[in-house]
Every structure is written in structure tokens, then in C-alpha cells.
């Protein structure tokens, strides 16, 4: 399996491939070590999502960004572990907020052990990330704290919704820049920074990460509607059922408001109703899958991915830059 296989990417150099694979293997080991507790039940709960797998998108970005410096520098792997632990901790909390039953094709922690255990397990994972982060120095602590503030702010803004006179689509994109883009940006920043890359490369890779993170989440929005559970590892329409206004739904609402087409208004009314009913939920999914709003969300995904690709232009050519470019294609492919 190539390091980029989960994203449909190619590896063009054995030494490059081996180096990134070794880094990811070390991250995987670090994740398991970091989630061990002297209490067996805590270990089981904390390793629940680690062992469920996942693409390890953020650690992969950290390893690729590290190629612009010394990828074997001692802080690279621990920093990647910190970012992935932070991401995993947020998933425990997200699943409680969303009342999700499935995560990565396995029962969510809240479905298996209840909301209280899931929330506390997320807190435990956060604490272990902080312990590792402390050894990386005060600058790393500051960067992570700022990113986490943006992440939480994005989550709060999503919960609160847009204020009066604020365009819902622009509000949502701002939510994603904080909620998702900030942590993906830190993965790139930490990888480059810990590897000793020059400051301009660190800045470029940070900007790339934020844009790619938004594109990745927009692709998830499309998948939540367009895919089945086998493809996404999540229950289709989870966000829809919970009334979370993802981009396809926001585009639908904007079109309905602008054009007043009866079919669009009827679909909006359906979405505003009780989607806990399986038949209504299935009907909403079916109609959204056929609506132009879904294709519009796909185009937005492509736009952000292309912006991420363009950001890379000043970086020196090489296998790492090629892989980062191909990740932009892979994110778009997920939404296809």
C-alpha cells in the first residue's frame, strides 16, 4: 500500500515513499501509546476511534510538509500525533452533539457507552495531546492554542447560526475555516516548522492547509448527501437529520428564496420538518441528490482545492510538492 493510497495518489520515489510511510507508522504507534491508561476501560474508550482507522489526513500532511526541511527531525512525529489526537478528541464531542450512531464504520463512542463517557473520553484524549505538546516548546503550545480557539469558535458560530444580515453561505465558510481549516493548517505548519523549513515555506504550507481543509470539509458535505454508508463510513444524511446547514442545503435555500420555485420551496419545507422519520429523511436525501444545489457545492469544493493548489506555486518542485498537489485532486475526487 502506498502512503497516499487512501487518497488515490501515486508515489514516484521509493526513498520518499519509505520516509513518509515510516513517519506515518511512527504516528500510529504514538497514537496508541498516547491513548493508553492505567485504567483498562479508559484505554478501550480512548483507543476506540484510533483503532477504527481513518485516512490520517492530518498526519499525512504533516509528513509531507516536513519534506521541505529535515523530515527526520525529532519534533515532526510528536507534532503530528498532537494534531491527530486533537482531531480525534473533537470527533468524540461532535458525535455527542450530532447524536451520531456511526463513526468510521463502527458504532460511535456515544452510541456504545453513552454521552457522558464519550465527552469525558474526548477530554482525556485532549489531555494526552497537551502532555505531548508541552514537550514541543512554548511556540508550539501557542500555535496549537490559537488553532484550538479558532476551532471552537467555528463550532460555536455553527451552533449559533448567522446573525441578522449575514449571508448564510459566507457564514458557513467562515465556520469551516475555523472548525476544520485551522487544524489542517496546523498539521502543515507543525510538519514544516518542526522540520526546520524556512519561514516562507512554513507560511505557504499553512495557507495551503487551511484552504485544503475547507475543501476537504466541503467534500464531506457532498458525501453526507451523495454517498452511502459504505463509501463514507458514516450514516448518510447525518447532518441533514440533525438540521446542520451544510453547503448543499444552504445553496438550496438561497435558490428557493431567489427563485421561489414550488419544488424548491417544498423541499425546503421538507427539510424544515421532522427528519427523524426515516421515510421523510430518505425522501429529503433523494430529492437533494437530484438538485442543482449539490452540484453547486461540488463546484465550491473544486474552487477551494484549486486555491490550495495555487498556493503551492512558490515552493520548490519535488515529490512532496507533487503529492500535495495530488491531494487537491483527491479531495475533489471524493466529492465527485
Contact between residue 237 and residue 221 where contact means Cβ atoms under 8 Å apart: no
pLDDT (mean) for 291-295: 96
Sort 182 into a burial class: Cβ within 10 Å, 0-12 / 13-18 / 19+: buried
Helix (H, G, I), strand (E, B) or coil at 178: helix
Of residues 257, 250, 218, the one with CA closest to residue 335: 218
Please check whether residue 249 is in contact with residue 289, taking contact to mean a CB–CB distance below 8 angstroms: no
pLDDT of 1 strictly over 50: no
pLDDT confidence band for 265 (50 / 70 / 90): very high
Q: Could you count the other beta carbons within 10 Å of the beta carbon of residue 38?
A: 6
Assigned C-alpha cell, 87: 482531531
CATH number, domain 14-335: 1.10.600.10
Dihedral sign of CA atoms 185, 100, 120, 49 in order: negative
Query: Would the pLDDT of 262 be above 90?
Result: yes
Distance CA 40, CA 186 (A): 31
Please give the Cα distance from 323 to 318 (Å, whole number): 9
Quick one: which H or E segment has residue 144?
Answer: helix 138-160
Angle (nearest 5°) at CA 73 between 67 and 4? 40
Mean pLDDT of 96-101: 75
pLDDT digits (tens, 9 = 90+) for 45-96: 999 999 988 889 999 999 999 999 999 999 999 999 999 999 999 999 888 8
Task: Read off the pLDDT of each residue in 205-231 and give the average, rounded to a whole number.
Answer: 89
Distance CA 42, CA 286 (A): 40
Q: 95 near 109, Cβ under 8 Å?
A: yes
pLDDT at 264 over 90: yes
Residue 214 cell numbers, joined: 475547507
**pLDDT range class, residue 3, cuts 50, 70, 90:** very low
Res 114: pLDDT = 86
In the prediction, which pLDDT does 251 show? Answer: 96
Position 11 confidence tier, pLDDT thresholds 50, 70, 90: low
Question: Could you give the CA distance from residue 213 to residue 126 in angstroms, rounded to a whole number?
Answer: 21
Q: What is the pLDDT of residues 119-142, one digit of tens each?
A: 999 999 999 999 999 999 999 999
The model's confidence at residue 233, banded by pLDDT at 50, 70 and 90, is: low
Within the chain, how many helices (H) and strands (E) appear?
18, 2
More confident residue, 6 or 199: 199
Q: Assign 234 to helix, strand or coil.
A: coil
> CA-CA distance, 112 to 101, in Å (whole number)?
8
Say whether pLDDT at 146 is over 60: yes
Q: State residue 5's pLDDT score.
A: 53
pLDDT value at residue 2? 45
Determine the pLDDT at residue 159. 86
What are the phi and psi torsion angles at 161 (to 5°)?
85, 170
Contact 173, 43 (CB under 8 A): no
Cell 519509505 -> residue: 18
Among 121-130, 188-197, 240-249, 289-298, the least confident range? 240-249
pLDDT in tens, 20-32: 999 999 999 999 9
Provide the pLDDT for residue 276: 87
Q: Taking 60 as the threshold, does the pLDDT of residue 6 lie above it?
A: no
Q: What is the pLDDT of residue 89?
A: 94
Q: How remote is the C-alpha of 183 from its chain's centroid? A: 8
Residues linked to residue 141 through DSSP beta bridges, in sequence order: none
pLDDT score for 336: 63
- What is the reported pTM? 0.89
Mean pLDDT of the chain: 91
Give the Cα separation of 17 and 146 in Å (integer).
32
**Are the C-beta atoms of 114 and 127 separated by less than 8 Å?**
no
Amino acid at each position: 500500500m502506498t502512503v497516499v493510497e487512501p487518497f488515490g495518489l501515486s508515489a514516484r520515489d521509493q526513498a520518499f515513499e519509505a520516509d513518509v510511510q515510516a513517519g506515518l507508522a511512527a504516528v500510529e504507534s504514538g497514537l496508541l501509546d498516547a491513548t493508553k491508561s492505567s485504567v483498562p476501560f479508559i484505554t478501550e474508550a480512548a483507543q476506540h476511534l484510533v483503532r477504527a482507522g481513518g485516512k490520517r489526513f492530518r498526519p499525512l500532511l504533516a509528513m509531507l510538509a516536513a519534506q521541505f526541511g529535515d523530515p527526520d527531525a525529532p519534533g515532526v512525529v510528536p507534532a503530528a500525533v498532537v494534531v491527530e489526537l486533537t482531531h480525534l478528541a473533537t470527533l468524540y464531542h461532535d458525535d455527542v452533539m450530532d447524536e451520531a450512531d456511526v463513526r468510521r464504520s463502527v458504532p460511535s463512542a456515544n452510541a456504545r457507552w453513552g454521552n457522558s463517557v464519550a465527552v469525558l473520553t474526548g477530554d482525556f484524549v485532549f489531555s494526552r495531546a497537551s502532555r505531548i505538546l508541552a514537550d514541543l516548546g512554548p511556540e508550539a503550545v501557542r500555535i496549537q492554542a490559537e488553532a484550538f480557539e479558532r476551532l471552537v469558535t467555528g463550532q460555536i458560530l455553527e451552533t449559533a447560526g448567522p446573525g441578522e444580515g449575514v449571508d448564510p453561505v459566507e457564514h458557513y465558510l467562515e465556520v469551516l475555516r475555523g472548525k476544520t481549516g485551522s487544524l489542517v493548517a496546523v498539521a502543515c505548519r507543525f510538519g514544516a516548522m518542526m522540520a526546520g523549513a524556512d519561514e516562507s515555506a512554513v507560511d505557504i504550507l499553512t495557507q495551503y492547509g487551511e484552504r485544503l481543509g475547507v475543501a476537504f470539509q466541503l467534500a464531506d458535505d457532498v458525501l453526507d448527501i451523495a454517498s452511502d454508508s459504505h463509501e463514507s463510513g458514516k450514516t448518510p444524511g447525518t447532518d441533514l437529520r440533525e438540521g446542520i446547514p451544510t453547503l448543499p442545503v444552504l445553496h438550496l435555500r438561497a435558490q428557493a428564496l431567489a427563485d421561489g420555485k414550488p419544488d424548491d420551496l417544498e423541499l425546503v419545507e421538507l427539510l424544515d420538518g421532522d427528519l427523524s422519520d426515516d421515510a421523510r429523511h430518505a425522501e429529503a436525501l433523494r430529492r437533494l441528490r437530484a438538485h442543482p444545489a449539490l452540484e453547486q457545492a461540488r463546484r465550491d469544493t473544486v474552487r477551494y482545492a484549486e486555491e490550495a493548489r495555487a498556493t503551492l506555486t512558490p515552493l520548490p518542485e519535488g515529490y512532496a510538492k507533487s503529492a500535495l498537489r495530488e491531494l487537491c485532486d483527491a479531495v475533489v475526487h471524493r466529492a465527485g
